[in-house]
Amino acid sequence: MFPLRLLTVSTAASIALWSTVASAQAPQALASPPPLPPGPNAPVAPVSPPPPAPAGPSDLELRAIGQSPVSLQMADGAQLSGQIMASDPTMLVFRLSSTGQVISLPRAQIVLLTVQQPYAAALPQPEQTLTPLFPPKQRHFGISLSIVPGLALDLDVGMFRAFANLGIVLPLATSGEFLPISFGAGVGIPLSKSRPSLKLDVMGYMTILVDAKDHSYSYGGSTYKLDPVVNNVSAGVGLGLHYTWQNGLTLGGMVPILGYAAYLNDFVGSDSTASIGERSALFYLASATALPLFYLGYRF
């Protein structure tokens, strides 16, 4: 029994050894020799040239033009006008401007591509001044109702401005004891080229407050009547804004900026004892009653 087992093990070991030797020698027998470097006279494989660019307009030109109106000159001499709707490497889809018909054209047959005039019209153009058929009427003299309620007259000629304002309601309410008057002149600065009648007014002006009430007194059996008395004279600078429409309607206003009551009578003791602060305060008070703070009227 033991000799049989030993024979079996020996046979299996021999078969395994021969299998290993055969597998190790097979790649060497099948391996091919390494390639030899090419000699100086060895043939060189030809290099194929790049494909030629498509004839006709390039893709860059077509993208730049888009769907702008163009004119095409074909190889057979035909002239076509219209729009390029779409394209591929060989064909164009073209819409004829004369009939609206959509056709296909070979790109290789186009010898000249020209952008028509409407494309240039899209470029910025210099501003053109249009002359109106009927130029607007030049309006200078105005008459208006003002607030504090009164009657205002003004003059507007070029950059020259002048005004006068007379209070109406206050004299009626006080039986003439309080009569405000203002007048002045200055410049009107246009604020817009498209609206030349919109102006900023810089004005120097004076205000006068008059007591015109019928004052009378008796003395020695006789009755005496007093003349109207000027109670306040102020001077200063104001700013205003006004606009006149083409139909003559005018709208504006003015406010006091800086000034001084130059003469006082019966307002604060006497004219010689009034302080600077009192004179400034009375200037604004007189301006509030005598200036056309807001006015609406008609300009001729």
Spell out the SS3 assignment of 119-170.
HHHCCCCCCCCCCCCCCCCCCCEEEEEEECCEEEEEEEECCEEEEEEEECHH
DSSP SS3 for 69: coil
Q: In whole angstroms, what is the distance from residue 93 CA to residue 106 CA?
A: 9
pLDDT of residue 121: 46
Q: In whole angstroms, what is the distance from residue 235 CA to residue 237 CA?
A: 7
Q: Give the gyration radius of the chain's Cα atoms.
A: 53
Per-residue pLDDT of the chain (300 residues; tens, 9 = 90+): 555 555 565 566 566 555 554 555 544 444 455 555 555 565 665 666 665 555 678 888 888 888 889 988 888 888 888 999 888 888 888 998 888 899 988 988 888 888 886 544 445 566 666 666 667 788 999 999 999 899 999 999 999 999 999 999 888 888 878 899 999 999 999 999 989 999 999 999 999 998 877 666 666 667 666 677 888 899 999 999 999 999 999 999 999 999 999 888 765 555 667 888 889 999 999 999 999 999 999 999
Residues ≥6 apart with Cβ < 8 Å to 262: 233, 234, 235, 279
Q: In whole angstroms, what is the distance from residue 177 CA to residue 170 CA?
A: 9
Asked if 224 contacts 235 with a C-beta cutoff of 8 angstroms, the reply is no
Q: In whole angstroms, what is the distance from residue 288 CA to residue 165 CA?
A: 12
Q: In whole angstroms, what is the distance from residue 300 CA to residue 144 CA?
A: 11
Asked if 186 contacts 159 with a C-beta cutoff of 8 angstroms, the reply is no
- Kind and range of the H or E run holding 118: helix 117-121
The number of C-alpha atoms within 13 Å of 165 and in the hemisphere containing its C-beta is 35
**Global pTM value:** 0.54
